[in-house]
Every structure is written in structure tokens, then in C-alpha cells.
Amino acid sequence: MRGGGMGNMQKMMKQMQKMQKDMQKAQEELAEKIVEGTAGGGMVTVKANGQKEIIDVVIKEEVVDPEDIEMLQDLVLAATNDALKKIEDLTNETMGQFTKGMNLPF
């Protein structure tokens, strides 16, 4: 390589190392985030963490109807999917900042 080729390579390597550290920090911060999914107008609430683990399920007393357990199951399922979608969106938003403008195939 002639001229500043080697300097440019070192600069690019430093930028990549910084981006890698920033990505790791963002992933650690994301793991600590908690999102809340709801269904039935707030009758069922599910909380998930940034590692896509369900950490809490709250069912309001007025929802519990022994005659309609299927409705309760549907609400829990809907709230869980809502929470997981929100954490997926948050993950994409947080990690997407590192690939912005890079024209990557994925």
C-alpha cells in the first residue's frame, strides 16, 4: 500500500473496535430493559426483559371467569405476544443504529 493506506487501515480498525464496544454496551443496556404488553384493555399485563424472557404476568381479578377460561388464555397469549413484539422492536431500534447507512445485505 502506498501513501496513507496503512494509516487508513489503522483508523478503520480503531473505528471497528469502538463500534464493537458500543454494540456490546448497547446489548448490555438492552438486556436490562423491561417492556410491558397488555391485552383486554389492560386486564392482562405481561412484562418481558431485553433477553426476551417473560418476567411477570398480572391478571386482573375481574377477568377470572371459570366459565370462560379460553378467553383468559387468549388474553394471556395476546399480552405475551405484545410484550415480545415490543422487545423485538426495541432491539431492532437499539441495534439498528450500528448498521445505519452501511448497505448490508441483511
Residues in a beta bridge with 59:
44
Judge if pTM exceeds 0.75.
no
| pLDDT at residue 27, as a whole number | 85
| pLDDT at residue 1, as a whole number | 47
Q: Which residue stretches of the chain have pLDDT < 50?
A: 1
Detail the DSSP E strand segments found in the chain: 34-39, 44-49, 54-59
Tens digit of pLDDT for each residue in 82-95?
A: 999 998 998 888 88
Quote the cell numbers at residue 85: 413484539
Domain 30-96 has CATH 3.30.1310.10: yes
